[in-house]
Amino acid sequence: MIKGKFIDNLPKVYGIYTGGFLVFIIIMAIAEQAGMSAKMIGIFFVAFTVLIYALIGWLSRTLQTDAYYVAGRQVPTVFNGMATAADWMSGASFVAMAGGIYFKGYGYMALLVGWTGGYVLVASLLAPYLRKFGCYTVPDFIGTRYGGNLARFSAVIVLTVASFTYVTAQINATGTIASVALDIPFNIAVYVGLLSILMCSMLGGMRAVTWTQVAQYIVLIIAYLLPVFWISNNIGAGFFPHFMLADEVARIAELEGQFGFVKNSAADLATVPKGLAGITKPHSSVNATPWAFISLAVCMMAGTASLPHVMMRYFTTPSVRTARRSVGWSLFFIFLLYSSAPMLATLSKISLMDPTLATGIIGKSVADVQALDWYQNWNQANLMFVSDFNGNGTLELNEFFMKGSAVVLATPEIAGLPYVISGLVAAGGMAAAMSTADGLVLAISNALSHDVYYKIINPKAETAKRLIVARVLLVLIGFAGATIAALEIQGILGSVIWAFDFAMSGLFFPLVLGVWWKRANAPGAVAGMLLGLISGTAYLVWVRNGGSGFLGITQLTFGIVGASVSLVSMIVVSLITAAPDAATQKMVDDVRIPSGKTILGKQH
């Protein structure tokens, strides 16, 4: 069926794969009609998709460094866009974002703007230049541009702190989904998730991760869009929800006025299970100050442009030109999901709130709601809760609680869609969390194996030995991440936001100025990375421990402090120390034009 090289047949291969996946969904739908239990459907969906990813991972195994580190630099533009979109859209985007918008409204939509606007910075400031550099990892660029092991090692530290914070959140998300879909305890599910992640990346490194990420993107986008369109059509809101939900948005505002936002007493709230939230913020009105909105958006944008697992995806394209275009495709594929998240939040909320819809529960009797099948399921999983605080027997807006991540997972069931859709959504969430975790674990282990082991500790290591070290580190980091994830220190969305702030604190200016400011030198970069990371972290610790903070900078936007310190210290230290030598200046000149040889060789 497939002749010639794999790369030349990509549209065909993934076309067949997509068709096969759709057939699988239909088979599951038929099985559901024939009486297959909801639990079995969930298990089939998750197990089937994970096995496919593992198969792709095994087929992509490699023994070459350029295939392992940068997928042989032959990933075509559009496919790299899909892989980046999967790499980027994590469990947080898939599972938690619509829930965040649902509960917090406008204030959280800064994340939508920030997580897309950052790509403009990636395309214009960094990606094409780093591609021209020809590095394997982000610290590889820092180490070569500024020179010296100290700069390289500082970059590894920042990368590890940011990516590790992020990866625990992703392993947490795979654990959450695996525990719901496979019905196993969370602290075991975390390791099941980890095992699936390692199967995709261990044998083939970047090459395997690339081709599984494309497969995962296809699953996650189908799983996200299908319910949005289906629910919208089901409740008669319009066949294309993105352009047609204005009436529903207005209706929610009207219902909010009617029901009112009643503040619950502390004693009442104490009975609500930990981590669940009630609807307390208006859906569409501007409920955050300009600074609160903008500061969060700025942190997410600068963080996007400094997160190594995203940047390294653009090392895999065949040329500088394709790297640039590939950023556009990445954002296009991300846009498809992000523009749907607020629509999903709207549909989910109207389904629950509108008493004229069959699915509405607010304003209905508490006893009736407690008798609903889906309520009992999600309540048992500790993701939903109702209580008759005022004892009037009717469910009020302030008496309904749900976990943020349940909005995406539970909405199909609430809206009365067949269970096969819920199974599909679970598979999509799993794909989103796995693809990001893969990218992150690989970013960390590549930095440690290439930059620390090969470049600093043992520059004479043979290829085979380097790749063994890389794989051992991959497994170790995965296990460390899973162990910390099992402790559940911070929620999924919170840890993800922290990761962006860490990355922005330490890496944003050293990366950008490395290309755009010739005068930047090694002492400046080291000062920028370390002081930025330290000051950002110190601010976070201070605010976490009851510090009042300043300028309205919260624990979610501490990157502003870190990046400012980083910028100032980098400029000051660069200017009081000697300018970079002529060879370095020449190197920066060469990076700035697309033609000619890459700075680092094909295999290094």
Contact positions vs other proteins (CB under 8 A)? 73, 106, 109-110, 112-114, 116-117, 119-121, 123-125, 128, 134, 242-247, 249-250, 284-286, 288, 290, 293-294, 297-298, 301, 319-321, 324-325, 327-328, 331-332, 335, 338-339, 342-343, 589, 592-598, 602
Q: Which is nearer to other proteins, 50 or 297 (CB)?
A: 297
341-353 and 246-259 helices, crossing angle to 10°:
50
C-alpha to C-alpha distance for 92 and 490, rounded to whole angstroms: 13
- Which is nearer to other proteins, 61 or 518 (by Cβ)? 518
Tokens 């948005």 found at: 249
The least CB distance from residue 345 to other proteins, in Å, is: 10
Nearer to other proteins, 82 or 112 (CB): 112
Give me the least distance between CB of 602 and other proteins, in Å please.
6
Instruction: Tell me which residue has tokens 């099992």.
Output: 486
CB 320 within 8 A of CB 594: yes
| Alpha-carbon torsion angle 391, 393, 399, 403, nearest 10 | 130
- β-bridge pairing 276-278 and 400-403: antiparallel
CA dist., res. 366 & res. 356, Å (int)? 17
User: Which alpha helices (H) appear in 34-148, and where do they start and end?
Assistant: 38-59, 65-70, 77-88, 91, 97-104, 106-121, 127-133, 138-146
For the bound state, the minimum distance from the C-beta of residue 466 to other proteins, rounded and expressed in Å, comes to 21
**Do residues 582 and 44 touch, judged by C-beta distance below 8 A?**
no
Residues 6+ apart with CB under 8 A from 87: 209, 213, 309, 310, 313, 435, 436, 438, 439
CB of residue 507 vs other proteins: minimum separation in angstroms?
A: 19
Instruction: Please list, in sequence order, all residues whose beta carbon lies within 8 angstroms of the beta carbon of residue 581, skipping any fewer than 6 positions away.
Output: none
| Closer Cβ to other proteins, 320 or 531, answer by number | 320
3-state class of 392 per DSSP? coil
Dist CA 248 CA 111 (whole Å)? 22
Q: Are 483 and 187 in contact (CB under 8 A)?
A: no
Give 271 or 285: the residue with its C-beta nearer to other proteins: 285
Compute the least distance from the CB of residue 91 to other proteins, in Å: 20
Question: Looking at beta carbons only, is 39 or 597 nearer to other proteins?
Answer: 597
Q: C-beta of 191: minimal distance to other proteins in Å? A: 36
How near is the Cβ of 592 to other proteins at its closest, in Å?
6
Q: Nearest CA to 256 among 285, 234, 289? A: 285
- Nearer residue to other proteins within complex by CB, 75 or 343: 343
For 27, other C-beta atoms within 10 Å of its C-beta total: 12
> What is the 8-class DSSP label of residue 365?
B
- How near is the Cβ of 324 to other proteins at its closest, in Å? 4
Tokens 């509108």: give the residue: 354
Report whether 313 contacts 69 (CB < 8 A): no
In the complex, minimum distance from the CB of residue 243 to other proteins, in angstroms, rounded to a whole number? 5
CB of 420 to other proteins, least distance (A): 28
| C-alpha–C-alpha distance, residues 203 and 305, integer Å | 28
- Beta-carbon contacts of 550 under 8 Å, excluding residues fewer than 6 positions away, are none
Nearer to other proteins, 154 or 317 (CB): 317
What torsion do the CA atoms of 224, 230, 236, 237 make, to the nearest 10 degrees?
A: 10
Question: Which residue number, 288 or 476, has a Cβ lying nearer to other proteins?
Answer: 288
How near is the Cβ of 320 to other proteins at its closest, in Å?
A: 6
Q: With respect to other proteins, which residue has the nearer C-beta, 49 or 317?
A: 317
Q: How far is the CB of 120 from other proteins (least distance, A)?
A: 4
Direct distance between the N- and C-terminal alpha carbons of the chain, in angstroms, rounded to an integer: 37
Q: Cα separation of 145 and 97, whole Å?
A: 37
CB of 379 or CB of 598, closer to other proteins: 598
Nearer to other proteins, 128 or 523 (CB): 128
